[in-house]
Every structure is written in C-alpha cells, then in structure tokens.
C-alpha cells in the first residue's frame, strides 16, 4: 500500500488538504488524517505538493503515424518515458493517414506493450479511410470482441487526405459504432479528424439533423485548426456536441491562424460553452504536416504527449482560468465521454493514477499509474523495455 500524506488535492475539483491511500492499483480512501500505520504501507510526505488525476490523452499515435512525405517521414512510436514526463497515465491510440504500414493489429500490439510497461491503454478501430479497416471484419465485432477497442477513428473529413466519404457512408460508420458501443457497454464514439476544408463540420451537423444519431456519438478533433473551424466548433459545442482541441503544434501553424488551446478554451467558455463539452488531446507521435496552396508538403513536425499538460497549465497560468477547469479537459471530461469509468478523477474506487505537481510553477514532480511510481521526486522511476 502507498499513503500520500497531507497533499493539496484536486479531484479535479479542489478538495483541500487530505491523505490518499492506494492499494492493489486502486484508490482505497481519500480523507484527512487517515492514520494508517507506517508498518503496513509506504508513507510519502506530499505536504509540499498538489495531487491531481493522471492525465487522459484521448488521441495518440502510439505506433507512429505520418508518411505524407513518403516513407522517411513516418513518425516514431510512443516511448513510455514521454508519457511519464507528460503525466499521461491513460492513452487512447489511433492510426492516421497510413492504415497500411501502420495496421490496426500493430496498434493493438503497441497498446498492449505500453500496458505491460505501466500505463493504461485503449484504441480506436480504423484510420482516416472509409470503409473502416478493422481487425475482426466489422466495427461492431471489434467493439464487442476486443477489450481495448472503445470507438472508431480517426475518420478524416474536410481534408485532402480523406477518402471523401459520402453522407451515407459516414452515417453508416456512426450507426455501427453506436450499436457496437451499446452492446459492449463502451462509448463507441467516432473520433473525427477535421481538416482545413471549407465543408467543416457539415457532415456531422447533417448526421444529427437527418438521422436519429445524437451529437454525442461524435468527437471532432483538431477543432482549433483555424478560426473558421473554431467558430463552427463553438456553435457545435453550444448545441450539445463535444469538441477536442489538439495541443501539439508548430509556430508556423499558429502564425497562420491556429487557435492556441489555452486561448481557445477561454474563448469557448466566454461564449457560453459548458466546460464538460470540451477536451484536449495531444495528437502525440502524429505528423504535423504543412502543405502549400497546391497541396504539396512544405514542412513536417511531430506531436508530443508532453504538450497536453503544458496547454492545460497555460490555460491556468496565462489565461486566468481556475486550475480545476484547466484540469477537467485532460482528466474527467475525456474519461466520461469515452466511458473510462475508473479514470479521470481521484476518488475511492478509481484507478490509482495520480500526478504530483509543485504548487508554484505546476511542474510535474511525481507520477503514479495503476498504483505504481513511474516518476518520484522529479526523477523517472520506470522506463520502457528498450529505453
């Protein structure tokens, strides 16, 4: 057992000074002065630290991505150490443009490997293309028969790299994901990659208007990609849909109009969007390509999971949002939307995923995942198999 003593807790809501007792990979009790004997557990004095839930990164290219500039531009896999440095204790893996050399089977194997190394992992079925490439032959079968599959994606829309699905093709994907999610008790969401194209969210809006599929079935990501898409996303969220901001970026994209996540969060809240409709994800290990007016690759970066908390911290430190609000979009919200029931909060019965921060600069000083130290006193306590 592990006892964190007298820590300043955010659940992510502020909960004041308390003790946290961890046993068997779960949080057993949260209360002041638990008085557990040191002979029964490791006691860690956390009185100089802030405890928050482990971060849930809902869009990570675990097995790498990219390839838009040919084979040499395929991006590398996620390393456990990157997740540790970013305080990320739960990841949802996806494929991107390339669903041939980066297969769903490869993604599933990588997810299982990271789980063995110490963090919690889930995946989406498919990649940019429609029809969706699955492992078992259908979206429903993947959701029902593979424990780690919790939804579909990232299906690309309004992007020149998309397979340009028709309305009927796209709705069929959402309908099958919904049925599979209902039958398996999973979220069954469709994670939708939003590109720069002028059609924006039109297929999602039409799906909600013309079918019985609710807006909650979709999680459009990269919503801060440009000002027009951001405004569409604000209206979508105000009407009850979910939106996901991408925290990884490059300066050139910001110079061209991409809305910084911290700024975008503040602006959406000021516009009347409920914070529960908003998530951040990193697009970690995904390529960050830039194309010229003729669609030719002109630059390439790589997404980092460490950007997730950096953006949330900026929301609190630079945009003046309460820390609990900034934390909610990377903890409780993605866990609730994706039905990861024991994730995203510090409470009795939850998985023991805890990040310890210094109260000044909010730097990460400790990471506990499934009850085990991955970082302690600012130093890594674990590493990947080949690191």
Per-residue pLDDT of 344-363, as tens digits, reads 999 999 999 999 999 999 99
Q: Do 125 and 220 belong to one domain?
A: yes
Q: Do 147 and 31 belong to one domain?
A: no
CB 261 within 8 A of CB 247: yes
Give the CATH number of the domain where residue 107 resides: 3.20.20.140
Domain end residue (candidates: 302, 318, 337): 337
Domain that holds residue 373: 2-52+342-380
What pLDDT does residue 252 have?
Answer: 85
What pLDDT does residue 291 have?
Answer: 73
What pLDDT does residue 300 have?
Answer: 80
**CA–CA dist 46, 3 (Å, integer):** 9
Q: pTM for the full model? A: 0.95
Each residue's pLDDT expressed in tens, for the chain with a length of 387 residues: 999 999 999 999 999 999 999 999 999 999 998 877 777 889 999 999 999 999 999 999 999 998 888 999 999 999 999 999 999 999 999 999 999 999 999 999 999 999 999 999 999 999 999 999 999 999 999 999 999 999 999 999 999 999 999 999 999 999 999 999 999 999 999 999 999 999 999 999 999 999 999 999 999 999 999 999 999 999 999 999 999 999 999 888 898 899 999 999 999 999 999 999 999 999 999 988 777 777 777 778 899 999 999 999 999 999 999 999 999 999 999 999 999 999 999 999 999 999 999 999 999 999 999 999 999 999 999 999 999
Distances (CA, A) of 77 to 124, 213, 249: 16, 34, 18
Could you tell me if residue 387 is inside a domain?
Answer: no
Q: Do 87 and 204 belong to one domain?
A: yes
Q: Do 121 and 24 belong to one domain?
A: no
Q: Do 306 and 351 belong to one domain?
A: no
For the question of residue 283 being annotated catalytic, the response is yes
Q: Do 103 and 191 belong to one domain?
A: yes
Q: Do 368 and 232 belong to one domain?
A: no
**CA–CA dist 181, 316 (Å, integer):** 35
What pLDDT does residue 258 have?
Answer: 95
Could you tell me if residue 386 is inside a domain?
Answer: no
What pLDDT does residue 36 have?
Answer: 79
* Structural domain total, the chain: 2
What pLDDT does residue 292 have?
Answer: 72
What pLDDT does residue 119 have?
Answer: 98
Could you tell me if residue 385 is inside a domain?
Answer: no
Q: Do 47 and 59 belong to one domain?
A: no
What pLDDT does residue 138 have?
Answer: 97
Q: Do 106 and 238 belong to one domain?
A: yes
Give the CATH number of the domain where residue 347 resides: 2.30.40.10
What pLDDT does residue 298 have?
Answer: 73
Q: What is the largest CA-CA distance in the chain?
A: 68
Select which of 57, 142, 244, 283 is catalytic. 283
CB 14 within 8 A of CB 30: no
Could you tell me if residue 64 is inside a domain?
Answer: yes
């Amino acid at each position: 057992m592990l006892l964190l003593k007298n820590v300043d807790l955010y659940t992510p809501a502020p909960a004041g000074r308390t003790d946290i007792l961890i046993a068997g990979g779960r949080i057993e009790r949260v209360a002041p002065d638990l008085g557990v004997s040191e002979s029964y557990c490791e006691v860690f004095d956390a009185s100089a630290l802030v405890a928050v839930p482990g971060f849930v990164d809902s869009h990570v290219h675990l097995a790498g991505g990219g390839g838009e500039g040919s084979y040499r531009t395929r991006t590398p896999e996620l390393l456990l150490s990157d997740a540790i440095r970013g305080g990320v204790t739960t990841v949802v893996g996806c494929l991107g443009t390339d669903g041939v050399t980066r297969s769903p089977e490869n993604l599933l194997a990588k997810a299982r490997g990271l789980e063995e190394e110490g963090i919690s992992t889930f995946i989406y079925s498919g990649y940019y293309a429609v029809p969706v490439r699955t492992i078992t032959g259908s979206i429903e079968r993947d959701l029902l028969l593979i424990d780690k599959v919790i939804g579909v994606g990232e299906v690309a829309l309004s992007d020149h790299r998309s397979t340009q699905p028709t309305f009927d093709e796209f709705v069929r994907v959402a309908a099958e994901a919904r049925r599979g999610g209902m039958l398996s008790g999973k979220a069954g969401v469709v994670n939708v990659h939003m590109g720069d194209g002028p059609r924006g969210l039109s297929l999602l809006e039409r799906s909600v208007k013309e079918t019985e599929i609710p807006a909650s079935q979709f999680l459009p990501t990269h919503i801060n990609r440009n000002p027009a898409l951001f405004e569409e996303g604000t209206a979508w969220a105000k009407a009850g849909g979910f939106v996901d901001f991408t925290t990884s970026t490059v300066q050139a994209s910001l110079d061209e109009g991409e809305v910084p996540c911290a700024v975008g969060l503040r602006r959406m809240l000021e516009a009347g969007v409920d914070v529960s409709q908003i998530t951040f994800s990193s697009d970690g290990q995904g390529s960050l390509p830039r194309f010229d007016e003729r669609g030719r690759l002109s630059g390439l970066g790589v997404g980092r999971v460490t950007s997730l908390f950096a953006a949330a911290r900026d929301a609190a430190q630079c945009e003046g949002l309460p820390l609990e609000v900034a934390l909610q979009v990377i903890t409780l919200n993605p866990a609730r939307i994706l039905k990861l029931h024991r994730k995203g909060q510090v409470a009795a019965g939850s998985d023991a995923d805890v990040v310890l921060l210094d109260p000044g600069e909010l730097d990460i000083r400790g990471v506990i995942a499934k009850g085990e130290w991955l970082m302690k006193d600012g130093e890594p306590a674990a590493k990947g198999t080949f690191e």
